[in-house]
Structure 1
Amino acid sequence: MVLSLTDVELSLQGNAGMVDILHGISLEVAKGDTLGLVGPSGSGKSSLLMLMGGLERATGGSVLALGNDLTTMDEDQLARFRRSHMGVVFQSFHLIPTMTALENVATPLELAGAADAFERAEAELDAVGLGHRTDHYPAQMSGGEQQRVALARAAAPRPDILLADEPTGNLDQATGAAIMDLLFDLRDRHGATLIMVTHSLDLAARCDRTIRLVDGRLDAETRNTPDLRVTDAATTGYAKVGE
């Protein structure tokens, strides 16, 4: 398994004391899988994704990624592991404003010691349709273009695991649809395992599996057929986890 979570718990300190975010999450994700995480706001979707990426530390249970227990790693070890094996795409792009598109994409490759960092970065920008924007800064690009740079940056190191947290949340519907096509194309070209948080059941239905979280617990899971398109929560056909 690429990812294996067992009895994972997450509690965080809030203004009024400890807040329990995730409760006893157990799931496995195989190599090449696409997994959509859905559920109402505050259900723990993004927190679960952050645990999978070692960006948040579980307070109970274990999180294994490619056989490595992320819960036992220190911050430096986690950073090196992500650099070598993971690509992360956020809703807010998180581009470095003082760097061009090319420099933004090349940065993780340079940090990994790739001698051809800029050549690979240029190829990834070409792949997302931004070969003509390599010298532009984030402020000179639209939101959709910035998200395409972020996708290229995540894909350039050829990660084993692609994590996407509401990658279309800041985009209009048409631009968001184009970004999702690119995300799945990057996954197909590089053979990565893709895990995506989304509020859109239509987008989640493009994944091999969809898992629904409610109040920090796994509520339901479905395996999607290639032609499945979900437009209403009442038509999801979820089967309860464990049934």
Structure 2
Amino acid sequence: MSDPASDPVLSLTDAKLTLDGNAGPVEILRGISLDVSRGETLGLIGPSGSGKSSLLMLMGGLERATGGRIAALGQDLTAMDEDALARFRRQHMGVVFQSFHLIPTMTALENVATPLELAGHADAFERAAEELATVGLAARADHYPAQLSGGEQQRVALARASAPRPAILLADEPTGNLDGPNGQAIMDLLFGLRDRHGATLVLVTHAPELADRCDRVIRLRDGVLDMAGAAA
């Protein structure tokens, strides 16, 4: 019997993604097999259109594979319906997008508390306040997204993703919309949250300095793993 602690947190077996385009089916991912270990930080790099973000979306169950198998924490995501996937993400995953995806009519505190409330935590607002303090935004808790800078909005998004203490943290170009100093601050916070909560981190990035901080870097090209360009 295998040791659950040593089993991959994420495991992809010949995962494929084909989408319908104007000119017919388009192969986005063409058979990806990959394991991600518990506590590992994995960077996904490659040229635009290579399938990096699509691969991250498959890992998070936000996009359905059209072939192969994807497992997270030993659960087969490809066998789950949409409701089961949503529950699984809520319980086990945090996702950070390049474009923040904050709810504009909610304050920073309410944005961070929402996933905690959905997960049934009675102390949702207390935990949300703690997480905002961790990312340096305790004084901005009552501000709405439009009242926050881009860097501050991304900090709120990080706090929201990490507040439920997810086992898996997925980040899609988390510094892509930020200038140098803000991008560096988000990098430091992202890795700090990973260390504090012990999460497995998978991130898509074009930033070499962010990729350099990962335990392992994998390059994609034309929907497949570019083994010649992979870095350990």
Settle same-fold status: TM greater than 0.5.
yes
- Measure the CA separation in 1 of the matches of 2:94 and 2:11: 18
Partner residue of 2:3? none
Q: Which amino acid aligns with 2:231?
A: T
Q: Which runs of 5+ in 1 are unaligned?
A: 224-243
Counterpart pick for 2:174 among 160, 167, 179: 167
Q: Which runs of 5+ in 2 are unaligned?
A: 1-7
1:98 equivalent to 2:105? Answer: yes
Q: TM-score with structure 2 length normalisation?
A: 0.95
Counterpart pick for 1:222 among 214, 226, 231: 231
CA displacement at 1:139 relative to structure 2: 0.3
Counterpart pick for 2:126 among 93, 100, 119: 119
CA displacement at 1:172 relative to structure 2: 0.5
Q: TM-score with structure 1 length normalisation?
A: 0.91
CA displacement at 1:62 relative to structure 2: 0.3
Q: Deviations over 1:95-144 (max 9, x none)?
A: 00000000000000000000000000000000000000000000000000
- Measure the CA separation in 2 of the matches of 1:100 and 1:60: 40
Identity within the alignment, %: 78
- Measure the CA separation in 2 of the matches of 1:83 and 1:215: 31
Q: Which amino acid aligns with 1:167?
A: P
Counterpart pick for 1:202 among 196, 209, 217: 209
- Measure the CA separation in 1 of the matches of 2:108 and 2:178: 19
Counterpart pick for 1:55 among 62, 68, 75: 62
CA displacement at 1:174 relative to structure 2: 1.2
Partner residue of 1:187? 194
Aligned residues: CA RMSD:
0.5
Counterpart pick for 2:24 among 1, 4, 17: 17
Q: Which region of structure 1 is more displaced relative to structure 2, 214-223 or 156-165?
A: 214-223
- Measure the CA separation in 2 of the matches of 1:17 and 1:54: 24
- Measure the CA separation in 2 of the matches of 1:174 and 1:126: 19
- Measure the CA separation in 1 of the matches of 2:24 and 2:93: 33
Q: Deviations over 1:177-233 (max 9, x none)?
A: 11010000000000000000001122111000000000001003222xxxxxxxxxx
- Measure the CA separation in 1 of the matches of 2:40 and 2:82: 27
Aligned residues: 223
Counterpart pick for 2:37 among 26, 30, 34: 30
Moved segments of 4+, more than 6 Å: none
SS in 1 for 2:39: coil
- Measure the CA separation in 2 of the matches of 1:188 and 1:15: 44
Partner residue of 1:65? 72
Q: Which amino acid aligns with 2:108?
A: A
SS in 2 for 1:222: coil
Q: Which amino acid aligns with 1:119?
A: E
